[in-house]
Structure 1
Amino acid sequence: MNYFRFYRLLLLSLLFITCKEQEAKKQEPIKIACIGNSITYGAGLADREHDCYPQQLQEFLGDNYKVENFGVNGNTLLKRGDYPYWKSDKYKEALAFKPDIVFIKLGTNDSKLQNRVHLKADFVNDYKELINSFKQRNKEARIVLLLPVPSYAKDTSRIWNPIIKNKIIPLTQKVAFETNSEMIDLYHLFENKPDLFPDNIHPSALGATRMAKRVYESVIQEFESNNNGFDFSKVDKKSESNFYGYKQTNFNFNTISCKIVSPKRILKGKPWVLRARFWGHEPQTDIALLDRGFHIVYCDVANLFGNNEAVNRWNKFYDLMIENNFSKKVVLEGMSRGGLIIYNWAAENLEKVACIYADAPVLDGTSWPGGKGKGVGSKADWENFKKMYNIFSEDKMADFKGNPIHKIETIAKGGFPMFHVCGVADKVVPVDENTRIFEQKIKEAGGKIEVIYKEGVGHHPHSLKNPTPIVNFILKATGYFKQ
C-alpha cells in the first residue's frame, strides 16, 4: 500500500474519532443536583418518584439536563443536628455526581428545638463548608441556595416558622452574601399558601410543581455573558453592605445619596428597578427580582414631593445608568409619597418607562399631605409640599396642576402598564381620592392599569406578603416572564 495513502487514511480516521468524541462531549447533559431534606425527597406525595420537585424539574428541562434527587428525610444542614446531611449516603453520591448546578434546600429541620440551639454558632460555617465541598469537585459549579418554605405547623418544639423566618433565612442570606452564592426565595413564594401544605410542613404535588417551575426559570434564564454591572469607579463610592444576601453599594452622585443592589447574575438586557422612598421597606418584591437578575437602585429625592428638582435628579441619574449600559426602559416602584415622583418623572419621560408598580401611592398632594378631603393629612408636610412647589398662598392651590392626578392623559399616552396595591381602609392616603380616581380616568384615556384592593387594610402594611402578582406583572411588562 502507498505509505502516503496509508497515513492519510490514518489521519482521517483520527480526525473522525476526535470529532465524534467532541460531539459526544458537547451532547453531555448539564448535571443538576438537588440537595435537601424531606421536601426535596418528596415525602408525603402519593407518587413521590414522579411528583417530587426534582423529577418535575427534569420533565420541564428535558434531555439536555440530568437532574438527580439527593434529598434525605429529616436531615439537617447542621453537623451537630440530630440527623446531619453530612452523614448521609446521598451526600457522598451528590459529591461523586460532580454537578454543574447545585440547588441546596436545607434548614427546615434545623428549626427543631434540639437543633436550633446550634444555629448561632454553627449554621453559617457549616453551610459555607457544604458549598465549598461541591466547589472542590467542580469549581465552575453554580451554587443556588433555596430559602426554606414556610411551616404552618403549630408545635413550637418541632419545625417552627418563627425560627425559619427570623433566624434560618437571615443566616442563609448571610451565607449567600459572604460566598456570593445565588438565591431563590421560596419562603415568600409560599407565604399565605397553607392549602399547598396538606400536613402543614410538606408541599403537595401542586406545591412541588410551584417549586420546580421557579427553579426551572432560574436554569433557563439568559444572563449577561460578562456579568458586568455598574462601574463604581466613576462615582464617589462610600460603602458596601448586605441587602438580604445581595451586595448593596452606597455612593454619591452629584452630592446626592444613591444606592445600587446588584444581583449575583445579571439578566440579559440589564433590567433595573428605580425605587422611590422608604428604601428596604417590605422588600419581598425587590428580593424576588434580585433573585432573577434585576438591579434595584435608588436616587434620593426625599421630601421634594416629586417637584422639578426631583425630576431633574432622576433625569441625570437615569443618564448615568444608561452610560453603564442598563436597559433604556426602567421599572418604577413607589410607595406612599413615592407615587408623586414616579408618576411625575414618568409624565416627562414616557418612552423610558417599562412599567410602574405603585403601592398606596399619593397621587394628589391636596389629599396627602394637604388633608383637604377625608384623609388625616400632615400639617408640617403640607407646608413643605407648598414650599417645594413655590406656592406661598392656599389660594394659589386652585391653579396648581403639578400632581400626577392632573397628568392622567399624558401618562396614559405612554402605553406602559401600571399596577397598584392599596388598602381600602387607608385613612392616610384615601383610595377614593387617589387610586380609584386615577384608575378610572387612566382607563377612560386608554391606559393600562391593574389594581389590587386589600379589604380591611389601611395605609400599612404595604405590598403583599406573597409578592407573586407584583413580580409576575413586572416580568411580563419587561419581557422576562418564563412560566
Structure 2
Amino acid sequence: MIKNLLSICIKWILIMLSTIAILFAQSKGKIYCIGQEFTTGSAMFMPEKNSFPAQLGGMFGQEYQVFLNGMDVVTNAPISIDNHVLKHLDDLNIKKGDFLILDLNHDVDFSQGDDSKLLKNITSSIKNGARVVLLSTPSDIDTKIQSAKVAQLQDLAFKSNCEILNLSPALYGGDVYLDKEKRLTSIGASLVAKRLYELIKTPVIGSSKIKIQNGKRESFYGFSSETFDFEGKEARVVKPKIVAKGSPWIWRARFWGHEPQLDIAMLERGYHIVYCDVSERFGNEESLQIWNNFYRFLQQSGLNKKAIMEGMSRGGVYIYNWALRYPDRVSAIYADAPVLNFKSWPGGKGKGKGSPENWEIFKQAYKLTEQQAIEFKSSPLDRASEIGSLKIPAIHVVGDVDDIVPPDENTLPFAKAYIAAGGKLEIIHKPTIGHHPHSLPDPTPLVDFLLRADDRKLNFAVIAAAGSEYRAGAGWNPNMGWWGENDDINHILDSRKQELDILFVGNSITQGIGGKRAHLPYKPGYNAFESVFSSYKWDCAGIAGDRTQNVLWRLINGKYKEAAPKVVVVTIGVNNFLDGDTAEEIVAGILEIKKWIRANMKDSKLILTGPLPVGVEGTDPRRKKYEDIHRLLELQTKDEGWIYMPLSDTFIKADGNLSLDDYSPDGIHLSGGYTKWAQALSKVIQKVLGE
C-alpha cells in the first residue's frame, strides 16, 4: 500500500515537473527571424550552426526561443529559402514581448504592392506589443538599385514606426564579414548576432515623450525628425523608435545631416539626436545663452540631464565652450576635425589655409579688433588643461593631412594638455585624409567609446557564445570549422574522463600544442610540451580564434566538468583585442571563466596566465593593453582558488621587446617560444601536483 502511494506521488511529481517545464518553455520570449540568403546563411560554412539566428539562439540559451523562417533554430535543420517572406509573416502568431527580425532586401518587390501588405502586418504586430526590426543589409546589386531599396525600407520604417538597423557600415568595415559576392560569412553572422543581442538586451522605456508644437515632421533615414522654430532659430529633434532607459541624447553642434553615420547608429540604440542652429557665432556668449534656453526646453521634455556633444569642424569650438561652461550637462564629447584654435582657423596664422571671411565673422562675434583677435586667449586650445581637468571622456577623429584645420595646431596640442590635466581623450587618425570626409564609414569605434562613456556598452567578453570561424590557415581539416574542433575536443575529453593530469585551454597559441588531436597537421609546440610533460597525461583544448566568450561557452556546454583534469591551464584574451574590447572588458571575461571553473570543477587546480605578451616591440600599442590586463588581474591574486601566472618575465627582454626566436613576426603567435612556455609552466604544475 505504502509502495503504491509512493509510486503515485512520484508519478504526480513527475507530471507536475513536466508541466512546469512546458509552461516555462512556453513563457520564453520568441524571436522570429525571416528572410532569405542573408538570414539563412545558405552561402556560408555550416549555416545550421552559424547563421545569425542560430548564433543568436546560442547566446540567449533558455531566455529566448529563436525561429528562422518558422523553424526553431535548436533543431539545426536545413532551412528553406524558397517561400516568400509574406507567407511566413501570415503564419506567425506575434504576441507582446516577441521580436520580429525582417531581412527584406532580397525578398520584397515594393513595386508589386508588397509594401502595403507589409505595412499592415508590421503595424498589427506592433499593436500586439511586439518589436519589429527591419534589417538594411549589404548587397552586390547595382548601387542605384540598392540605394532605392534602402530608401524604400526607410520609408516603410518611417510609416510603420518599426525599428530599422543599418548593418552595412559595420559589415563593410571588415574584410572577413562578407565574401566576394557580398554574402554574409559565418564571422559576419557573429557580428549581426551580437548587434541584435545588444538591441534586445538594451533596457528601454517606450516611445519618445517629446511634444513639439508646429513642427515639420519628415523622415531622417527612417526615423521621425521634427524641424521647428526655437526663439527664432531652426531646431531639430530626431526621435528613436524605442527610447533607451534614462532618455540619452546626442547634441549636434553644426552641419546638420552631414556624415550622419554616428547619429543613425545612436538613434538605433535609443538615443535622441537634437540640433539648435547658432551658426557663425563661434561659441560666443550669445550662442551659449541660446543653447542654455534650448537645454531647458529639452529638460522639460524629459531628456537626460547629460548629453553627448558632437562637433564637426568649427562645431568643436561650440561643444568645448559648452562643456567648459556646463560640465555637469555633458557625459562625453565626439569632435571631428575640430577647430580648437582660432588663430589656426579661421585666422590662418599658422600652417592652415585659414578663411579671411570667417576671420572677420569671428572678430565680430567676440567684438575684437585685429590685434585683440591675434592675442585672444580663450579658444579651447588655450583652455585645454582647464577642460581636461573636468575629466569628460572625449574622442577625436582627425585627417592627418588636413590643411584646413591642421591637427598639429588643434587636436594634437589640445590632447596633450587635456590628458596631462587628467582627462581621457582618444584620437582616431585617418592617415591619408584631409579635412573631408568627416566621421568614419563604419562608426563602430565611436559608438563603442560613447556607450562606454555613458555606461551603456555591453561587454561581449563575458557573454558565453559559440565560435563560428573556419580557419584554413590554422591547419583545420576542410570539413571541420569551429564546431568540428569543438566536437573533437569534447570527444577526447569524454574518452579521458578522470584520467587527465593537465588540460591546456585557450586559442590558436594553445592549439599549437596539439595534444591527442591527430587531425591537426600544424603542432609547432607539441614536441616542446611532450618533452617537458611526458610523465603526465595531458591534452590540448585550444581553438584558433577563440575569445574569452568562446572559451566560456565551451566550458558551459562541453565535457570539461566530466573530464575533471587535475590541473587546468587557461591562456586566453588576445583575440579579444581584435574586437576592440578594453582591458577591463577582457579581464571581466577572464574572471568569468575563472568563476565558472571554480564553481563547477572544484577538484581541478586552475592556473590562469591571461594572454601571453603581445607586440614584438615594447612600443606596440597592443603591449599597453596587455600590461593593463595584467595590472588588473594582479589585483585579483588574493583569491586563493586559483594560481595567477603571468609570463611577462618569461618572454619580455630587458629592452622591452620580444625575441623573434620565440615569437612570430606578428607579435602574437609563438615559434620557438613553446619550450620556454612549457618550462615555465612545469615549475608551477609540479608544485600544484605535489611533486
TM-score (structure 2 length as normaliser): 0.59
Q: Does 1:281 align with 2:258?
A: yes
CA distance in 2: counterparts of 1:318 and 1:97, whole angstroms: 40
Report matched runs for 1:411-422 at 5 Å. 411-422=387-398
| Structure 1 counterpart of 2:299, from 316, 319, 322 | 322
Q: Does 1:291 align with 2:268?
A: yes
Question: Which runs of structure 1 show a deviation greater than 4 angstroms over 4 or more consecutive aligned residues?
Answer: 71-75, 90-93, 96-99, 134-138
CA distance in 2: counterparts of 1:145 and 1:126, whole angstroms: 14
Q: What percentage of residue pairs aligned between the two structures are identical?
A: 38
Residue-by-residue CA offset, 1:191-239 (whole Å, 9 max, x unaligned): 23233223432222111010001011111111115x3421325xxx331
Report matched runs for 1:112-261 at 5 Å. 121-122=111-112, 125-133=113-121, 136=124, 139-148=128-137, 150-151=138-139, 153=140, 159-164=141-146, 166-225=147-206, 227-233=207-213, 237-261=214-238
CA distance in 2: counterparts of 1:92 and 1:199, whole angstroms: 34
Could you tell me which residue of structure 1 aligns to residue 99 of structure 2? 101
CA distance in 1: counterparts of 2:116 and 2:446, whole angstroms: 33
Query: CA 1:97/1:350 → structure 2, altered by over 3 Å: closer, same or farther?
Result: closer
CA distance in 2: counterparts of 1:86 and 1:238, whole angstroms: 35
CA distance in 2: counterparts of 1:228 and 1:192, whole angstroms: 31
Could you tell me which residue of structure 1 aligns to residue 615 of structure 2? none
Residue-by-residue CA offset, 1:248-302 (whole Å, 9 max, x unaligned): 1112222222110001110110001110111000111100110111000001110
Q: What's the RMSD between the two structures over aligned residues?
A: 2.4
Which structure 2 residue ranges, 5 or more long, are not aligned? 1-15, 71-78, 461-691
Q: Residue 40 of structure 2 contacts residue 81 of structure 2 at CA under 8 Å; is this kept in 1?
A: no
Query: CA 1:98/1:322 → structure 2, altered by over 3 Å: closer, same or farther?
Result: closer
User: Larger relative CO (CA 8 A, sep 6+): 1 or 2?
Assistant: 1
Q: Residue 272 of structure 1 contacts residue 326 of structure 1 at CA under 8 Å; is this kept in 2?
A: yes
Q: How many residues align?
A: 432
- Deviation, 1:84, is 4.3
CA distance in 1: counterparts of 2:94 and 2:365, whole angstroms: 63
Residue-by-residue CA offset, 1:337-362 (whole Å, 9 max, x unaligned): 00010001111111211000000100
Query: CA 1:390/1:221 → structure 2, altered by over 3 Å: closer, same or farther?
Result: same
Could you tell me which residue of structure 1 aligns to residue 441 of structure 2? 465
Could you tell me which residue of structure 2 aligns to residue 430 of structure 1? 406
Structure number with larger C-alpha Rg: 2
Query: CA 1:195/1:228 → structure 2, altered by over 3 Å: closer, same or farther?
Result: closer
- Deviation, 1:27, is 6.1
Q: Residue 389 of structure 2 contacts residue 418 of structure 2 at CA under 8 Å; is this kept in 1?
A: no
Query: CA 1:328/1:135 → structure 2, altered by over 3 Å: closer, same or farther?
Result: closer
| Structure 2 counterpart of 1:441, from 394, 417, 420 | 417
Q: Residue 28 of structure 1 contacts residue 64 of structure 1 at CA under 8 Å; is this kept in 2?
A: no
SS at match of 1:171: helix
Q: Residue 194 of structure 1 contacts residue 200 of structure 1 at CA under 8 Å; is this kept in 2?
A: no
Supply the AA of the counterpart residue of 1:163: I
- Deviation, 1:131, is 4.6
- Deviation, 1:410, is 1.6
CA distance in 2: counterparts of 1:193 and 1:109, whole angstroms: 25
CA distance in 2: counterparts of 1:272 and 1:465, whole angstroms: 21
Residue-by-residue CA offset, 1:142-197 (whole Å, 9 max, x unaligned): 2111111x23x4xxxxx344432x21111100110011111111112212323322
Query: CA 1:92/1:257 → structure 2, altered by over 3 Å: closer, same or farther?
Result: closer
Supply the AA of the counterpart residue of 2:121: S
SS at match of 2:243: coil
Q: Residue 272 of structure 1 contacts residue 330 of structure 1 at CA under 8 Å; is this kept in 2?
A: yes
SS at match of 1:333: strand
Supply the AA of the counterpart residue of 1:463: S
Could you tell me which residue of structure 2 aligns to residue 312 of structure 1? 289
Which moves more between the two structures, 344-353 or 42-51?
A: 42-51
CA distance in 2: counterparts of 1:31 and 1:291, whole angstroms: 21
CA distance in 1: counterparts of 2:239 and 2:122, whole angstroms: 24
Which structure 1 residue ranges, 5 or more long, are not aligned? 1-16, 76-82, 111-117, 154-158
SS at match of 1:232: coil
